[in-house]
Amino acid sequence: MAKNIVVFSDGTGQDGGVRPEQRVSNVYKMYRVCKVGPESGIDPAEQVAFYDPGLGTDIGATALTAPVRFVQKMAASVSGRGITTNIADCYRFIIDHYEPGDRIYLIGFSRGAYTVRCVANLLMYCGVPTKGAGGPLLRFCKMTRDIAREAVETVLEHGAGHPRKDFDAERHELARRFRAKYGSDHDDGDGKSNVEPYFIGTFDTVAALGVAGPKRTLIKAGLAAAVVIPLAIVIAVTSAVVGGISYLFDGPFWQADLITSGVLVVASAAVAFAVRRHLVAAKTKTITDWPSPGEKRSHVAEWKGENFDRLLSAQVGYARAAIAIDERRKDFDRVKWGPTETPPPRAPGAPDQFRQFWFAGNHSDIGGSYDETESRLSDIALKWMLEQAVGIPDGLKVDGMPTMADPMHPVEVMQIPRLRLHPSAAGVQHCEVAGMRDAIEERMSASWVPGWVRRWAQGKTWETKDREIRPDATVHPSVDERFALPAVVQCDGLASYRPAPLANHVRFKDRYGPQPKPTA
């Protein structure tokens, strides 16, 4: 019997279920009612689920490992490479559990949404292996982990950070070789992979793959200081100890000190050179015997804040995207998405392949993670996504929810026993721009903070940029309800809902005055 394989990938810093009374995202809320467990009615023969915590979480960190984790997070924020681990972990789960005919669901929020989109493209390129390299496929062990990393680092990362067209032919050739090696070609011999996702659901996709500009410089400087300062201390202390011992035994103090310092400096330089060489090698992607036998091509590929992958394969069964109207942080701009070719014909009345709706609220008002008393807007997006995932043929299975005999019948998700939703168009709308400004001012108010620092920090917050929304974009009906309300809570005030990005929308432009203002 075919089953659902469901992968949930969370946003940066999200690690649902780790702490009591934790603020959790919509992704984790969905995972909680879709997973197999002693408290769940989900049959593992019908559905298995995997939760991938977001980048920057410290699950398993101890007092000894926390500093190392912090440095790793900072390095990942510069290089963007942390996403490769997330993609490989998700892909490995699929390899371990997939049987022919299974349906793959991919659901994510924020950078986790971009992660599942990358997993979808990885499946398009590489499929799901059915054999090992020269032998049987051994699942649930190191072999599948190694295969997953090979697929990500050799195929998916080839050309990362560059326009797709520059290296697409090379990437397809590498994918062909991977499929031949691991038996993941489609049976019809059309040169495609054997598996494509059945459903992809994304809550406000952002990439944030490697910071840029002054932030990148500052973090690099901080990482360098984190290495250089302790190293300098070690050299100084070691030299002093060696020199002291030499002095006690009437040895040449200055010579011993000089020799020790010199050895440590040379050793440190050698280590630094080796590390840098390793990092450069990891980013260098090579294809051999292409486009002709004997030829070799190489380039540096690096996840960064540009040239994001926007591809949606026409072979994906269903794709759904919930997008925030009111997110204003420039660093959290959405990554556009959509089919690049016409999908196969659908039966009359069948759900569309691709649906994309705009919702009122900022980034986490769509994907969740605010206090439950302030999550009415995110409940709207969660309800919509559940309806989309459950309402398709062979839909997502939710604990406590009866299976619909008619897949085309409207789905009621409001009565799920372990997921009570209270969607409301009048819900609180948050603003991280104002939140960052308030947080900085609060920290600067401490008596020990120098006056010049307070003056420098005054008014500092995220750089802003309103999102661009097409005049004919599909907007969720709850936005109409919010427009009709006399006033709604918008983080730092109470006012009518008139977001600047919708000022030219065909459905709403007549409701604006001559000078529409942003909501925060």
pLDDT at 71: 62
220, amino acid identity: K
pLDDT at 341: 78
Question: What tens-digit pLDDT sequence spans the chain (520 residues)?
Answer: 899 999 999 985 555 555 555 689 999 999 999 999 999 999 999 999 999 997 555 555 445 555 665 666 666 655 556 789 999 999 999 999 999 999 999 999 999 999 999 999 999 999 999 999 989 999 999 999 999 999 999 999 999 888 888 999 999 999 999 999 999 999 887 889 999 999 999 999 997 665 544 455 556 666 666 666 776 676 666 666 656 666 666 656 556 556 656 666 676 677 666 766 666 667 899 999 999 999 999 999 887 666 577 889 989 999 999 999 999 999 889 999 988 778 888 888 889 999 999 999 999 999 999 999 999 999 999 999 999 999 999 999 999 887 654 555 556 787 788 899 999 999 999 999 888 888 888 888 887 888 888 788 888 888 899 999 999 999 999 999 999 999 999 877 899 999 999 999 999 999 997 644 555 4
Cα torsion 469, 473, 477, 480 to 10°: value is 50
Whether residue 404 is contained in a domain is answered as: no
Whether residue 24 is contained in a domain is answered as: yes
Residue numbers of the domain that contains 317: 4-59+80-208+304-390
* Structural domain total, the chain: 3
Whether residue 500 is contained in a domain is answered as: yes
Radius of gyration, CA atoms only, the chain: 26
Place of tokens 């690690």: 15
Whether residue 417 is contained in a domain is answered as: no
120 with 17, same domain: the answer is: yes
What strands, in cross-sheet order, belong to the sheet with 47-52?
47-52, 4-9, 103-109, 199-203, 318-324, 354-359
In contact, 74 and 31? CB cutoff 8 Å: no
Q: Is 510 exposed, middle or buried (0-12, 13-18, 19+ CB in 10 A)?
A: exposed
Give the residue from 307, 10, 374, 53 showing the smallest Cα distance to 164: 307
Give the residue from 320, 366, 360 showing the smallest Cα distance to 477: 360
Of 284, 319, 337, which marks where a domain is finished?
284
Q: How far apart are CA 433 and CA 328, in angstroms?
A: 7
37 with 152, same domain: the answer is: yes
Question: What residue spans of 249-354 are helical by DSSP H?
Answer: 253-283
Give the H/E segment covering residue 97: helix 82-97
Q: Which two tokens stand for residue 380?
A: 């709207």
223 with 110, same domain: the answer is: no
40 with 134, same domain: the answer is: yes
Of 284, 317, 345, which marks where a domain is finished?
284
Give the residue from 456, 404, 465 showing the smallest Cα distance to 433: 465
Q: Is 90 exposed, middle or buried (0-12, 13-18, 19+ CB in 10 A)?
A: buried
Q: What is the CATH number of the domain that holds 371?
A: 3.40.50
Q: How far apart are CA 51 and CA 28, in angstroms?
A: 8
Whether residue 198 is contained in a domain is answered as: yes
Instruction: Tally the C-alpha atoms within 13 A of residue 71's C-alpha that lie toward its C-beta.
Output: 11
Q: How far apart are CA 489 and CA 183, in angstroms?
A: 55
204 with 99, same domain: the answer is: yes
Distances in Å between the Cα of 165 and the Cα atoms of 168, 171, 373, 429 are: 5, 10, 46, 40
316: which residues sit within 8 A by CB, 6+ positions away?
120, 196, 197, 198, 200, 343, 353
Distances in Å between the Cα of 378 and the Cα atoms of 24, 64, 186, 323, 328 are: 11, 37, 39, 11, 17
Give the H/E segment covering residue 168: helix 164-182
38 with 121, same domain: the answer is: yes
Q: How far apart are CA 300 and CA 429, in angstroms?
A: 42
What DSSP line would sit under 492-517, residue for residue? S-EE----GGGTT-TTTGGGS-SS--
Distances in Å between the Cα of 96 and the Cα atoms of 88, 99, 131, 149, 489 are: 12, 9, 12, 14, 47
512, amino acid identity: Y
Whether residue 516 is contained in a domain is answered as: no
Beta strand 296-300 with 284-288 is antiparallel
Whether residue 89 is contained in a domain is answered as: yes
Of 363, 390, 417, which marks where a domain is finished?
390
Long-range contacts at 351-355 (CB < 8 A, ≥ 24 apart): 351/318, 351/388, 351/391, 351/392, 352/318, 353/314, 353/316, 353/317, 353/318, 353/319, 354/312, 354/318, 354/319, 354/320, 355/319, 355/320, 355/321, 355/388, 355/474
Q: Is 343 exposed, middle or buried (0-12, 13-18, 19+ CB in 10 A)?
A: middle
Q: Is 507 exposed, middle or buried (0-12, 13-18, 19+ CB in 10 A)?
A: middle
Q: How far apart are CA 441 and CA 375, in angstroms?
A: 26
Q: How far apart are CA 56 and CA 328, in angstroms?
A: 22
In contact, 30 and 107? CB cutoff 8 Å: yes
pTM of the prediction?
0.86
Q: Which two tokens stand for residue 60?
A: 């398993």
351 with 452, same domain: the answer is: no
107 with 200, same domain: the answer is: yes
93 with 126, same domain: the answer is: yes
Q: What residues pair up with 338 in beta bridges, in sequence order?
A: 311
Q: How far apart are CA 11 and CA 56, in angstroms?
A: 9
Whether residue 197 is contained in a domain is answered as: yes
Q: Is 46 exposed, middle or buried (0-12, 13-18, 19+ CB in 10 A)?
A: middle
233 with 350, same domain: the answer is: no
315 with 355, same domain: the answer is: yes
108 with 183, same domain: the answer is: yes
pLDDT at 238: 67
